[in-house]
Chains A and B, each alone.
Chain A
Amino acid sequence: MATVQVSEAEKVYILHGIRDDLRVDGRSCEDYRHMEIETDVVSNTDGSAKVTLGHTVVLVGIKAEIGKPRPMVPDEGYLEFFVDCSANATPEFEGRGGEELGTELSNTLYKVFNNKRSLDMKSLCISPGEHCWLLYVDVLLLQCDGNLYDAISIAVKAALFNTKIPRVHISADDEGGKEIELSDDPYDCVRINVENVPCIVTLCKVGHRHVVDATLQEKACSVASLIISVTHKGTVTCVRKVGGGSLDPESIFEMTEAGKRVGKALHAPLMKLLQQEESLGKKRQKVGFLG
């Protein structure tokens, strides 16, 4: 995370701007930066998405594998998250440098996405107690410019939307055992229902107000931030305070309300965009990193 040095004068400038609802780049407190989303960018995966939010670039690849269901929930599949903070984002992540942040991010992703209220885990089950689909969700951070949680959650949602799991047929063999057969037709696949998948909204408390989608400079001025995961209906599914510093209960309440509002407004255009891209099908020109 390219460390930013913010001088006292700059801090005052940013703080006063936010007080008057006008941020350094001209946004108001509840505006996102320019966002670009593209799905199906890595053909080796079952689903992938690339999200650019300001200068933050995130690539998510999902691979589906057949595994054994967890003993506690034999009729559900599950998700595995891994966040790779690559050295491409900043030299500080070289070697094992990015592991700490990567673990923190992936633990949050588990809390937000890996439950039956966000995703229909039962649809990932193949035969109860024996086989299920497990989805490896691998997040690759390519450039960090603040607001990683939001960018990652949007990319995960887009990649889940894009994921195509091959259809399986179960047939019993002579000895009564089950045989799993994958469909040969690459178009014969199951899609995941992402309707209830939440998106994360990070709110940074700067001075007496809070901002959405903070840049690194704004983050350097903030006391603490609150991450809120919100579904398309506006239901809050997870709230966490991150970073040092402390927040008073009253501002947490205000921030949750703002997060709900922003999150709810985020889902509709996101789904519209994903569906639009999907409807283009093969005609869509893939841009990836070349555009």
Chain B
Amino acid sequence: MAGLELLSDQGYRLDGRKATELRKVQARMGVFSQADGSAYIEQGNTKALAVVYGPHEVRGSRSRTLHDRAVINCQYSMATFSTAERKRRPHGDRKSAEMSLHLKQTFEAAVMTQLYPRSQIDIYVKILQSDGGNYSVCVNAATLAVIDAGIPMRDYVCACTVGFVDETPLADLCYAEEGGGGSSLALALLPRGGQIALLQMDAMTACKGVSKVLDEVVRQHLQDVSVLTRE
């Protein structure tokens, strides 16, 4: 890759972190009073707000109702001013539709939906400022918001991204590293059981690398959990 050196010879990254170091995580729960649950999280310069409404009666068409569990409804959106170049609309594009779907799948795995048959839980996540790792920050924010709403979960979902540069896995990528051309892996984890709720790998990593990357993410994430729960 030309120009940018993602990992210096001394083992430091662009922002001065070590390879396995996370960015500074700051979080707050109960930001808004009208929603049933809300949380705000900052991971470095990526900032996200998550809001949870429900469980409540299924809104809109009745046909979506599930008789044995709750419907999880997610919407991912980005503020128009969140990126360096202004976005034309906050949601409705392909990328955010994909993100919404991933969030939905992740939280269907984590929330104990069978406790609320015929109802709906809304999870809305908004990126206020984007600097890489949007998906994982969203998952972390949404987890805190679900906890704030008091909805039972099998486990706290935690997510992180990992990149791969010259055989070295880098935890919690920032925007420059994400765009740096290397491969990246997003992982959402149910840490207590070590279960994986979402796994998505972009670009190509050598096969032998994957297990190393996975192991790295899992280890990092156990740390991340302790940071979040202390808050």
The chain A residues found within 8 Å of chain B, CB to CB, are 2, 42-45, 48, 55, 57, 59, 61-63, 65, 82, 84, 86-88, 90-91, 94-96, 136, 138, 140, 142-145, 288-290
Asked whether, in the complex, the Cβ of A42 is within 8 Å of the Cβ of B33, the reply is no
- Report A26 CB to chain B, min CB distance, Å: 18
Residue B26 is within 8 A (CB to CB) of chain A in the complex? yes
B80 within 8 A of A: yes
Q: Which of B33-88 contact A (CB under 8 A)?
A: 33-35, 38, 40, 42, 45, 47, 49, 51, 53, 59, 73, 75, 77, 79-84, 86
B44 → A minimal CB distance (Å): 11
Besides A88-B49, A91-B53, 16 new A-B residue pairs in contact (Cβ under 8 A), listed by A number: A42-B79, A43-B129, A44-B81, A44-B129, A44-B130, A55-B34, A59-B79, A84-B90, A87-B75, A88-B32, A88-B38, A138-B81, A143-B32, A143-B34, A289-B28, A289-B47
* Closest CB in chain A relative to B153 CB, distance in Å: 21
Residues of B within 8 A of A (CB): 26, 28, 31-35, 38, 40, 42, 45, 47, 49, 51, 53, 59, 73, 75, 77, 79-84, 86, 90, 92, 122, 124, 126, 128-130
A96 to B75, CA, bound (A): 12
**Are A88's CB and B82's CB within 8 A?**
no
Q: Which residue of B lies closest to A57 (CB)?
A: B32
Give min CB distance, A160 to chain B, whole Å: 14
Task: Report yes or no: A289 in contact with B31, Cβ–Cβ below 8 A.
Answer: yes
> Residue of A at shortest CB range from B51?
A88
Contact B80 A136 (CB under 8 A): yes
- Tell me, in angstroms, the Cα distance from A140 to B35 when the chains sit together: 16
A44 touches B84 (CB 8 A): yes
Per the bound structure, the CA–CA distance linking A91 and B90 in Å amounts to 16
Chain A residues near B34 (CB, 8 Å)? 2, 55, 90, 143-145
Q: Note all chain B residues with C-beta closer than 8 A to A95.
A: 75, 92
Assuming the contacts A44-B130, A59-B128, A289-B40, asked whether A142 and B49 have C-beta atoms less than 8 A apart, the reply is yes
What are 16 inter-chain pairs, A to B, with CB distance below 8 A? A42-B47, A82-B80, A84-B79, A86-B77, A87-B124, A88-B35, A88-B38, A94-B73, A136-B81, A136-B86, A138-B79, A138-B81, A140-B126, A142-B126, A143-B33, A290-B42
Indicate if the CB atoms of A140 and B86 lie closer than 8 Å: no
- A48, A65, A145, A290 — most chain B CB neighbours (10 Å): A290
Q: Nearest B residue to A47 by beta-carbon distance?
A: B81
* Minimum CB distance partner of A86 in chain B: B126
Give the shortest distance, in Å, between B75 (CB) and chain A (any CB).
5
A86 touching B90 by the CB < 8 A rule?
yes
User: Which 8 pairs from chain A and chain B are nearest by CB?
Assistant: A61-B81, A289-B40, A87-B124, A138-B80, A88-B51, A138-B81, A84-B90, A45-B81
CB distance from A65 to the nearest CB of B (A): 7
Closest CB-CB distance, A103 to chain B, in whole Å? 13
Task: Chain B residues near A140: list those with CB within 8 A.
Answer: 79-80, 126, 128
Alpha-carbon gap, A84 to B84, bound state (A)? 18
A44 touches B82 (CB 8 A): yes
- Given A87-B77, A94-B75: A290 touches B124 (CB 8 Å cut-off): no
Q: How far is the CA of A59 from the CA of B75 in the complex (A)?
A: 19
A91 in contact with B79 (CB, 8 Å): no
A2: which B residues are within 8 A, CB to CB? 34
